[in-house]
Structure 1
């Protein structure tokens, strides 16, 4: 006997499969909005709980047995080099077809603040943060 799933059942699980390139889009939970667009930052599952516990505020977090993914505002990779083995996914389209929502934010924001997440990812991976030249510096005359 073949088991089939309806589209609403698949979509209700928080992911949408994009067959064109075999990526899964992590969907914002019903009732929340992502006005700034969505990207995602993933880390191997072995870092998941440690990163979750170290970030001061978490938005939506998705996971499967291999990777954990945090939603961040679109463009959170601008001028940042996310440390390996983390993975930055534009459009929150990730190579994790079985990822499921494991943490829903307590507040209205679906986003994890990207700078604290970046710093914690650098710390966990033993990588020095790389800031663009002149970032945070006073303007020169």
Structure 2
């Protein structure tokens, strides 16, 4: 498989991952390791996103050291190993009850002052 976009990984607990797997239009490579499923995403999939707990974001797809190698659970057809990060993020937000970062309202303390002649 080609990894022209680089690789990061998102670790999501197994119970969430089972539910997410059925909700995504495309699933890339997914590995299992110590109760987490690691979803391969393009490098930089954390830019402007706060992956909700209980997930873990791993730049470079570096997994915590363990005694055993991760187990490949899913390998996609085609030559790209990636799960699209936005559908994965949205599915995880939905399951955790987290509002996506771009949907959060801005508090009044963050609004610019009105221009003269307004308000």
Shorter-chain TM range is 0.7 to 0.9
SS at match of 1:46: helix
- How far apart in 1 are the matches of 2:14 and 2:99? 21
Q: Aligned-pair distance for 1:107?
A: 1.9
RMSD (Å) for aligned C-alpha atoms: 1.6
Q: Would you say the 8 A contact 1:40–1:92 is kept in 2?
A: yes
- How far apart in 1 are the matches of 2:97 and 2:65? 25
Q: Aligned-pair distance for 1:85?
A: 0.5
Q: Map of 1:81-96 to 2, 5 A cutoff?
A: 81-95=50-64
Q: How many residues get paired?
A: 102
- TM-score normalised by structure 1 residue count: 0.68
Which protein is bigger by CA-based radius of gyration? 2
Q: Aligned-pair distance for 1:64?
A: 2.7
Unaligned runs of 5+ in 1: 1-31, 134-141
- How far apart in 2 are the matches of 1:34 and 1:89? 16
Indicate yes or no: 2:16 matched with 1:47: yes
Greater length-normalized contact order (CA 8 Å, ≥ 6 residues apart): 2
